[in-house]
Amino acid sequence: MILRAAGGARVGVEHGRAVPAAVAVGRTPTLKEPLLGGGRLFWLEQRPQEKGRTTLWMRAADGTVCEVTPAPRDVRSRVHEYGGGAYAVDDDTVVIVDGADGCLWRLDLPPALAAASPAAPLPEAVRLTPPAPPESPRGFADGRIDRLRGRWLGVMESGGRDHLVAVPLAGGEPQVLHTPADFCGYAVMSPQGNALAWVEWQQPFLPWDRSRLWLAGLDEQGGLVDPRPVAGSGPGDAAGVSVFQPLWAGHDLVVANDRSGWWNLERLAGVADLPATAEPTWEPLLPMEAEFAMPQWVYGMRTSAWDGRQLLALACREGQWSLGRIREGRWEPVPLPFDDFAALHCDGERLVAIAASPTTPAGLLELELASGVWQHTPAAPCPLAAERIPLPEPLWFEGHGGRPTHAWYYPPAGGAHPGAPLLVKGHSGPTAMARTGLNPAVAFWTSRGWGVVDVNYGGSTGFGRAYRERLDGQWGVVDVTDCAAAARALVAAGRADPQRIAIEGGSAGGFTVLAALCFTEVFRAGGCRYAVTDPAALARHNEHRFEARYLDGLVGPWPEAAAVYAERSPLQHQQRISAPVIFFQGLEDRVVPPEQTERMALALSQRGVPVELHLFPGEGHGFRSQEVQIQVLEATEAFFRRHFHL
């Protein structure tokens, strides 16, 4: 049977002390891109209660909190579909990307606003860029304010490619400064305003595969002088090297570079004195088996900062993040009760980041650098009592090819036992990683007697480039084998029932779910959110520019590797699936078209395989609405419970 649901209905009931879905998901806003400027703290807040609307907040030095962009304004970039980098701030000037028209808007914050009451009038927003005609759409993202020249400097996506552009703060048409072969971003201007560094990458590679750091001088009018690559690699280079987040540290340039096999920080000293024709000499700052970077799916990602005297950074080792200082080649961790960090920023005296732990929800971490005094402000109070929070246990097991592979295991409430049902989670990306920050959705399952294993299958970030490259050409093989091996390891340890193992995932993780149901006999049910069901169809008709050639690396070049695509396709092997599957799909998805999900669900239902299909108008790739998030979780649990006779 195919069930088509447009939202509203809720499936499932509370089970004693089970965590309700309304507590587990859709309740807590997502915090993004905190920035310090002019003595104020700014951050974005994505609200599932308002169907995913994102708004800009500000807290002044006196503690006054103000919503700078109240409803209906939605601060959102759609560049590369995934967006990010939706606002920039410099003293009293804020420039945002409006999600409704895609234009840049300026807000001038008067000093009086810092002490204003919530009812005080907000500044009038001024549109900087005219709306683009429907036949020539464009988008903006990842901007910086060039105060010296009175302009916004950032990325414009238009005409099927990125452009590095400048837009006057007084408004006007964008001025193109530089057009790369395909993609660019993460531009940073030197403190003196006479140099600019940015990152470029080119198809068929993604920025974490191969990317280059570019450097150029800036003339008095703001034009680029002698632009040239100074680090990283491109399509024609023998070895793959990627770079992440250039940062100015005084007169020096710092970037994360994985030429050693790990995203480590390196410094290019005395950039101002570097002749345009000279070969740059990069100095590794802290060689270690740790990652100081993340895969650049969205703009606005930051893992390092300069406070005017020292370098601060986030480092990931074996799936856990820490904050520390780099001093004279030494790593000095800052003692904090968090192991999940993102979005680091510093204004010289204070540091801000998004931080979480297994028992603390994500919130704004503020650290006074001189005194070491810190405070943490969660996006919302912790929705769970301490005794109901499941704690992650590191699980190392033999994955594909016998290689050590990592996962986080959460035992069911009351403890693991041989009869416990197990939910295997495959993250999206597939370059993402299973993180340790508090996730009430895990508690939803463990409170109902399920064990949960969140697998960092081969291809995941956080374990070095070689671990990430395990998935090259092996998507649908390595990830599937690793998820199955994690489940088998827990069964062998007497912690799960082999007849009650389910697997769920979204996007790339949804493909892993379907491939696992096709090509292994481990899983008894599956749950898919906006899943890739036929890689060949995606390769033939992929209109998502950012990932247009992604499958070249994950599967093989199309159409030369057509046989491999057919071999890996769950849709073309759907006759091998007998386990029940529940599907969820947004009808506005431009990354994975709804047709992928609909064809798969129809093919299975015609063979009598138990299927549910839930379609959501207005939702895209990733569900933003509270109502939808709750329905997805409740329906998944009810579906698994029914078919596992729980």
Tens-place pLDDT, residues 479-494: 999 999 999 999 999 9
Cα distances (angstroms) measured from residue 211 to each of 204, 230, 253: 11, 11, 17
What pLDDT does residue 16 have?
A: 46
Q: Label residue 120 by pLDDT band (50, 70, 90).
A: low
- Under 8 Å between Cβ of 437 and 356: yes
Helix (H) or strand (E) run with residue 393 in it: strand 393-398
* HSE of 227, CA atoms in CB hemisphere, 13 A: 18
Give pLDDT, residue 10. 31
Query: Per the omega criterion (within 30 degrees of 0), is the bond before 134 cis?
Result: no
Distances (CA, A) of 229 to 94, 186, 226, 258: 31, 14, 10, 16
Contact 267, 251 (CB under 8 A): no
User: pLDDT tens digit string along 91-113?
Assistant: 899 999 999 999 999 999 876 55
Q: Distance (Å, rounded) from C-alpha 220 to C-alpha 216?
A: 13
pLDDT digits (tens, 9 = 90+) for 488-530: 999 999 999 999 999 999 999 999 999 999 999 999 999 999 9
Phi, psi of 190 (to 5 degrees): -60, 155
Whether the predicted model's global pTM rises above the 0.85 cut: yes
Residue 272: the pLDDT is 79
What average pLDDT score do residues 396-417 get?
97
- pLDDT at 4 (0 to 100): 43
Judged on CB neighbours under 10 Å (0-12, 13-18, 19+), 269 is: middle
Estimate to the nearest angstrom the gap between the alpha carbon of 452 and the chain centroid: 22
What is the band of 25 on the pLDDT scale with cuts at 50, 70, 90? very high
Q: Where are the domains of the chain?
A: 384-644
Return the number of other C-beta atoms located less than 10 Å from residue 462's C-beta.
24
165 dihedral zone (left: phi>0; alpha: psi -120 to 50; beta): beta
Q: Which of 551, 399, 539 is nearest to 475 (CA)?
A: 551
DSSP letters spanning 440-493 = HHHHHHHTTT-EEEEEE-TT-SSS-HHHHGGGTT-TTTHHHHHHHHHHHHHHHT
pLDDT above 60 for 8: no
Q: 540: which 2 tokens?
A: 């033939």
Residues 391, 358 contacting (CB under 8 angstroms): yes
- CATH hierarchy code of domain 384-644: 3.40.50.1820
Mean pLDDT of 445-471: 98
Separation CA 369–CA 308 (nearest Å): 11
Cα(157)–Cα(135) distance, integer angstroms = 14
Structural tokens at position 229: 């690559």
- Convert 125-150 to b/e letters by CB count within 10 Å (16 or more is b): beebbeeeeeeeebbbbbbbbbeebe
- Sort residue 85 into left (φ over 0), alpha (ψ -120 to 50) or beta: left
**Region 47-64 average pLDDT:** 93
**Percent of the chain whose predicted confidence (pLDDT) is above 90:** 89
Per-residue pLDDT tens digits for 612-627: 999 999 999 999 899 9
Write the DSSP symbol of residue 291: B
Task: Give the model's pLDDT for residue 113.
Answer: 53
Start-to-end CA distance of the chain, whole Å, equals 21
Give the up-direction half-sphere exposure of residue 150: CA atoms within 13 A in the CB hemisphere: 7
Q: How far apart are CA 353 and CA 322, in angstroms?
A: 11
Give 590's pLDDT tier (boundaries 50, 70, 90): confident
pLDDT digits (tens, 9 = 90+) for 196-220: 999 999 999 999 999 999 999 999 9
Judging by beta carbons within 10 Å of its beta carbon (0-12, 13-18, 19+), is residue 403 exposed, middle or buried? middle
How do residues 539-585 score in pLDDT, each as one tens digit?
A: 998 788 999 999 999 999 999 999 999 999 999 999 999 999 999 99
* Residue 323 pLDDT grade (very low, low, confident, very high; cuts 50, 70, 90): very high
Residue 171 to residue 128: CA distance in whole angstroms: 4
Separation CA 443–CA 21 (nearest Å): 10
CB neighbourhood size of 280 (10 A): 16
Amino acid found at 184: C
| Most confident of the following: 272-276, 285-289, 325-329 | 285-289
Look at residue 13 and tell me whether its pLDDT is greater than 90. no
Strands 611-616 vs 581-586: parallel, antiparallel or unpaired: parallel
pLDDT for the residue 278: 85
Kind of pairing, strands 283-284 and 138-146? Answer: unpaired
What is the C-alpha to C-alpha distance for residues 586 and 100, in angstroms, rounded to an integer? 19
Neighbours of 466 (CB within 10 A): 11
| Gap between the Cα atoms of 638 and 636, Å rounded | 6
Cα-Cα-Cα-Cα dihedral sign, residues 466, 472, 475, 480 = negative
